[in-house]
Amino acid sequence: MKKVLVIFVLVFSFLIADLSLPKFYVFASDESLKINAKSAYLIDYNSGEVMFSYKENEKLPVASIVKLMTILLTLENLRDEKITLDDVVAASGHAAGMGGSQVFIDAGGNYKIGDMLKSVIVSSANDASVVLSETIAGSEENFVALMNKRAQELGLSGTNYVNCTGLPAANQFSTAKDVAKLLKEVTKYDTYHKYSTIWMDKLIHAGGRESELVNTNKLIRYYNGCDGGKTGSTDEAGYCLAATAKRGELRLIGVVLGAASGKERFAETSDLLNYGFNNFENKKIVSAKDEIANEVKILGGVEKSVKAACKEDIYKLSKKGEGKNYTTKTELIGSIKAPVKQGDVIGKIYVIKDEVVVAEQDIVSLVDVRRATIIDNIMNVIDNWSISK
């Protein structure tokens, strides 16, 4: 009942607010930036704002970039403690039989999940991808169902998966826009960067046999600030690359699909990232570490009010040299019944520019507040009586 009341109050207060709906700008693309690939997309990681787009919604085969979803599901299972990096699993014959890019695992061989994940992230190993899929879902087929389910949850409306590797398959496709969203999600994980920044390494098999791991994303070594990404190439997909790079407060995600050569995909992705870093800057408008000045009253709690803050940092992107005249507006519910849990949504904060809402974020409770018991109320009366004497 408490949650229903909170939702009603929040919705009502937001509806009557004299504000436009959130507006996320798509900046005019620089005509000097020429892209020969079939599709390209460049976004700011923090705000999600678009700096450049070219046929970003065209459905295309993306080859091994499919593995970004395999990586994401593995990272999420690690986060949820369903698996650990040190878990040892046996490789199936199906996994060991994968062609294309591989680390030549042994059928029936035992491998750590961490080594399999590293092999996928660094060397785009098809066999290691299947090991991960079978470990998490029991079979590659079951895992693909999870991949498509997660794609729907993330709003990847132009994506469909048929396998976990990106090997050619009918009706498997994605878009530059969806790939950017997916890499944005993967980039959140420290475990991903633990492996994505490796240039060269080895996978040691039982018996001492070694497989060389070399990062397929050359920008890791040759582009300033690049610390992640995923390559892909097949005859049908051409040469594809999604990459992320960070300089100062600005992290970018660039995607190029269907380039004519490996050299061209790296060059055009570098051009995208250069365009972003040369022309844009990022500013933190609201910090999640800063408490909201106003407080929400607690009814029937051991505390009379609760401190709150923005759920996540709010960044805004702007072209260099342009003014950044942003204001904020806070909408908090008037009161809430105890108990309150840390992280409960108790309002909204809006970022406004030129009378238009350009970003919004939930305001959440910073602490737990339990419901007051009879003893708490008696002690409160005694304390107040003592003070009044």
Please identify every residue annotated as catalytic.
64, 67, 124
CA 323 to chain centre: 29
Q: What does the alpha-carbon distance between residue 80 and residue 82 come to, in Å, rounded to a whole number?
A: 6
CA distances from 180 to 68, 140, 244, 300 (A): 10, 24, 9, 46
Cα angle: 280, vertex 282, 285; to 5 degrees = 145
- In angstroms, the CA 229 to CA 242 distance is 5
Other Cβ atoms closer than 10 A to 336? 24
Long-range contacts of 101-110 (CB under 8 A, 24+ apart): 101/64, 101/125, 101/126, 101/216, 102/126, 102/127, 102/128, 103/127, 103/128, 103/203, 103/211, 103/213, 104/205, 104/211, 105/131, 105/205, 106/205, 106/206, 109/205, 109/206, 110/206
What SS3 class is residue 381?
Answer: helix
Give the N- to C-terminal CA distance of the chain in Å, as an integer: 40
Structure-block tokens of residue 380: 């409160």
Q: Where are the beta strands (DSSP E) in 131-279?
A: 200-204, 210-214, 226-234, 238-247, 250-259
State both tokens at 66: 């499919």
Q: Provide the 3-class DSSP secondary structure of residue 280.
A: strand
Looking at residue 182, its amino acid is L
Rounded alpha-carbon distances, angstroms, from residue 370 to 63, 298, 338, 365: 52, 10, 6, 13
Can you tell me the distance from the alpha carbon of 161 to that of 144, in angstroms, rounded to the nearest whole number? 6
